[in-house]
Structure 1
Amino acid sequence: MKENLNNVDDFARLTKSAVGLSKVSNAASKLATGAGVAGIGITVIDGLTSEKGWQNHHTADVLIGTAQTLLLGSGPVGWGIGLTYFVADFIVTSSTGKSITENLFDK
């Protein structure tokens, strides 16, 4: 038979567990947001130093990266969306030699 949460120790133990999970989630969100900002920075550097100069896909990548970074900071749903785009872009790049945005926006 399950015991009811009727004493302070049980409540304190559950509260500590919830706080611990929250700290892990916050740390993961900060790490993901940092990675997103780094990715945007890499895109900007690539666009500024590319032989062909800044192209339409750079603008699209910065916009998508910004949206993803905002979503990545929001938790598991944002992480799922970001991971899905990352995998899709990896598959497209592996198959065509160009990223999703290069295929869509560059001639």
Structure 2
Amino acid sequence: MTDEVHQRLRATMTEKPLGKQQVAQMMGMHRRTLSRRLKSEGTSFTQVADETRLSIAKQLLADTTLSLAQISAALEFSDPAAFTHAFQRWTGTTPSAWRKEHRRH
């Protein structure tokens, strides 16, 4: 279940972010059912969405020259500072420092 939610979010996140309701509908279930199933796997929709955002952020930081503002906007953060705070909370480092260490170009 968790992997399927990851895949659905990842496929649309940078174009049209999906909420729990939309993902549940795409999977043919009620949002509460989705929540219960994710909980039984030891996770939540918010956690899966954050993991997906982090995965996309890391890919964009490593593989592109997009600015932090562009990445922030693509991932639907309110502003670059919010993206930086979230990234730092998730990884313990800033997006800029992470990019310097993991740059693929």
TM-score normalized with structure 1 length: 0.26
Where is the helix percentage greater, Structure 1 or Structure 2? 1
Is the radius of gyration larger for structure 1 or structure 2? 1
Question: What TM-score do you get using the length of structure 2 for normalisation?
Answer: 0.27
